[in-house]
Structure 1
């Protein structure tokens, strides 16, 4: 009888392959359809030629790159453990699937513009781009879920909180013992400083505890469910930026290219592992900073076709990251202050 682990592996691999191959096939078919309509010919030679090329591309990348890398990662586990900070599967998807999909999305728009400019719609359907981003997010979710079981309950956050609290208590006790052994006289000023600092800390509203009430069922948190939540929330800014590319004032002009280029660059962060220390820095560098200037330029040139909230989000995230990570280390900003 087939074990659940084998079934889980097969389902994951099939879903990843679908997320890898389907977006390219769909968008290249849209491009072939638009190109055929521009030719205004009864015969569909160009259409089937482009479709066959898309199938050949997906088949070749699958057989020459996707399958060998997958087999190598599955058979050579020691090589997989040596990879630190980035994910090969996500890199293959971003380079071999997302990049050609975005490229042919731009090509489809250009074909429609050169075909009949007067009958262009006010906005382009976002089905193709949504399919690309959804497939990339699904692939990211599957890669994160591989380390978790799909059955049973897990209180991962509670265990981490207990471990962190225990480590903090151990460090506090060990520091106190060291101070007692070193010098009992010098400990008095240290205690005064600690007590004074503790009094200066602001006290906010207390967090509720639902362990002994009926609300404990509703307040349960599981890391597996949060993977789905945060995987979509992280890319909401990129989804909104790509949606703007479907506006008539954007896709009918040269603004289409910077929107797609910087949207693709923001997706490069998905190659990194979830706990990579460089992930926050690259998030600001590849998404918030360029998105701020693109949105500001679009608002100045074309009006509020992109929401002001996105512009404020990019500006605040960038400024807060620079201030709290770098400016607070300088002397004028290094004084510890709290507000009540």
Structure 2
């Protein structure tokens, strides 16, 4: 068992380090080719090989220094001094360091490559598919490794460790419900004061209260046992559902027929799907920057800058209640204005579907989290409150 844990630990560390190094080497090597091409065009008698190898050597020196000075000490503090950086597990320091040390330089060199070619009237390389297929894929792999390293890779879903950071959409809320009925009124009174024997007057009052229970606006259910006027919102439901430790997919509609294998479900497999879906909007935005009309224009700056800001969502834990507001502030709202500008100047160079997604997500977040608290939108409180 110990050897298996050691092997998984080594595999996760190798994958994370490779995910940090490979995009940097590839992007800076392509940037070195552009610089060498520019030098050979501006000065035909000058060999651009010196500039090429200087940039390549600089990339190797950068990766080596960051690995020795930042990456290795960070890993040491995480695994030896576990409570030093993690704290209450509200954020992921490894993801933050990766976004700063790897994703930020990659996007910076992509912007620099565009600017160098624009200033020298050269259209040599638009880095087609490189940012999407390599840079963001490594970012997704870092996210997957950070989440899957806390759970076992063998056994059934019930063998998942208790601290696995795997969100789920199956359970939204779990209330502790007492099973069975107390045998005597005294036992009922001991477990639930509301179940104690009541007089006829108290019974009629209780009936009126239960009859008056109603669903109010903004998801508040008054008079419902165990609810106590709890408010539900988009961000609240997602954070509570993702933070439940009982995340094992036990469907109440379990099928036991001959085709039951079609109902197979495992949280570890669904984690891969959710990780890719989490980045689809950023992937599409970065993909649009590879279009020649955009790459050789000033629009490449806001596209890569705000795409990088959307990558900062990776720092928050999957069950963090900040993910909802971070998604709107760092992704949907900036992407909405960028896509409106792109469609206005370049036509439908970005799909209209993503524009509608950004618009509806922003409107839903504002309406359900803020506007429903206003009295004008709380109609039942106006009539019953």
* TM-score of Structure 1 vs Structure 2, range by shorter chain: 0.7 to 0.9
Contact 1:24 1:54 in 2 (8 A): yes
Matches of 1:195 and 1:100 in 2, distance apart? 55
- The answer for the alignment partner of 2:149 in structure 1 is 146
- The answer for the alignment partner of 1:204 in structure 2 is none
Deviation at 1:108, TM superposition (A): 1.4
Deviation at 1:210, TM superposition (A): 3.5
- The answer for the alignment partner of 1:193 in structure 2 is 212
Matches of 1:82 and 1:49 in 2, distance apart? 42
Contact 1:250 1:256 in 2 (8 A): yes
- The answer for the alignment partner of 1:5 in structure 2 is 5
- The answer for the alignment partner of 2:239 in structure 1 is none
- The answer for the alignment partner of 1:20 in structure 2 is 20
Matches of 1:225 and 1:252 in 2, distance apart? 40
SS at structure 2 position matched to 1:264? helix
Deviation at 1:194, TM superposition (A): 4.3
Cα deviation 1:189-221 (Å, max 9, x = unaligned):
1232348999xxxxxxxx982432234322122
What's the Cα RMSD here? 3.1
Instruction: Determine which of 56, 71, 79 is the counterpart of 1:51.
Output: 56
Deviation at 1:163, TM superposition (A): 11
Deviation at 1:82, TM superposition (A): 1.6
Matches of 1:45 and 1:187 in 2, distance apart? 87
- The answer for the alignment partner of 1:323 in structure 2 is 367
Contact 1:284 1:318 in 2 (8 A): yes
Which residues of structure 2 form unaligned runs of 5+? 41-45, 161-165, 183-187, 222-250
Deviation at 1:94, TM superposition (A): 0.4
Contact 1:295 1:311 in 2 (8 A): yes
- The answer for the alignment partner of 1:218 in structure 2 is 262
Deviation at 1:227, TM superposition (A): 1.1
Give the stretch that moved more between structures: 316-325 or 187-196.
187-196
- The answer for the alignment partner of 1:235 in structure 2 is 279
Give the stretch that moved more between structures: 2-11 or 179-188.
179-188
Give the stretch that moved more between structures: 214-223 or 102-111.
214-223
Structure 1 stretches of 4+ with a deviation exceeding 6 A read 159-163, 173-176, 195-198
Instruction: Determine which of 299, 305, 329 is the counterpart of 1:261.
Output: 305
- The answer for the alignment partner of 2:138 in structure 1 is 135
Q: Normalized per residue, which structure has more helix?
A: 1
Give the stretch that moved more between structures: 298-307 or 75-84.
75-84
Matches of 1:293 and 1:164 in 2, distance apart? 35
Cα deviation 1:154-176 (Å, max 9, x = unaligned):
1479x997995562567xx9999
Deviation at 1:177, TM superposition (A): 3.8
The aligned length equals: 325
Q: 1:195 to 1:305 in 2, by over 3 A?
A: closer
Deviation at 1:299, TM superposition (A): 0.8
Contact 2:131 2:287 in 1 (8 A): no
Deviation at 1:258, TM superposition (A): 0.6
Instruction: Determine which of 112, 120, 132 is the counterpart of 1:115.
Output: 120
- 1:224-303 to structure 2, matched below 5 A, reads 224-303=268-347
Give the stretch that moved more between structures: 4-13 or 180-189.
180-189
SS at structure 2 position matched to 1:185? helix
Deviation at 1:6, TM superposition (A): 0.4
Instruction: Determine which of 58, 67, 71 is the counterpart of 1:62.
Output: 67
Deviation at 1:140, TM superposition (A): 0.6
Q: 1:166 to 1:57 in 2, by over 3 A?
A: same
Cα deviation 1:20-55 (Å, max 9, x = unaligned):
111111111110011001111435111000000000
SS at structure 2 position matched to 1:11? helix
Matches of 1:18 and 1:268 in 2, distance apart? 20
Which residues of structure 1 form unaligned runs of 5+? 199-206
Contact 1:26 1:128 in 2 (8 A): no
Q: 1:334 to 1:61 in 2, by over 3 A?
A: same
Matches of 1:196 and 1:314 in 2, distance apart? 30
- The answer for the alignment partner of 1:29 in structure 2 is 29
Q: TM-score, normalised by structure 1?
A: 0.86
